[in-house]
Amino acid sequence: MIIQIKKQEFDYLDDEALLNACFKPLILEYKKRMAKQPENSSISKELFYKELTTGQKALFVFHVYYDHAIESKCEFYWWSAYFMAQPKIWSAIKTGLQYFREEPMYLLLEETELVLKKYNCPNTLEKFAVTREDLDSTGELSESINPLHIKFNETAHLTIKRISDFIRYNHENFLKIED
């Protein structure tokens, strides 16, 4: 599922545009497949994921998480808890960050995990009852999430830069450059 791109376009993409150029075709294909097989979505998800290169897997899981978590403190909290309740996905996000050698964001997710565990966030979707309103009703939780959210926003820009740089120097794992 390697994306093709013209060399001139590749050379002029800024960091976020490069990530999106690598991610957008993947997410569109993912959504298309999920729409075709809603009853077997977990099997379809795994088959889709297996078709990706290691780099594409790392980018895909991080980008999905990032796109949701960057929206607000509530979204950062809820999506972190939601993915943590799916250990395979949470682990894949952290493994992807290690693949990109993105230690600052990795460590932030480790910190976030500790806070979420402290507040008894579930580790399966069966018991998942986390709501975005939890932050409004639990002041201590909100105070614990706030610095993590701020750090996420501060770190995200540098994470995107470093992942983009990684892609530029390892592009064969993400896209094929045409002259």
Task: Give pLDDT, residue 40.
Answer: 67
Tens digits of residue pLDDT in 63-93: 999 999 999 999 999 999 999 999 999 999 9
The full set of domain ranges for the chain reads 3-178
Residues 6+ apart with CB under 8 A from 169: none
pLDDT tens sequence across 138-162: 889 999 999 999 999 999 999 999 9
Q: What is the CATH number of domain 3-178?
A: 1.20.1420.60
Highest mean pLDDT among 27-41, 50-64, 128-142: 50-64
Token pair belonging to 39: 């009853």
What is the rounded CA–CA span in Å between residue 38 and residue 43? 10
Residue 38 has what pLDDT? 66
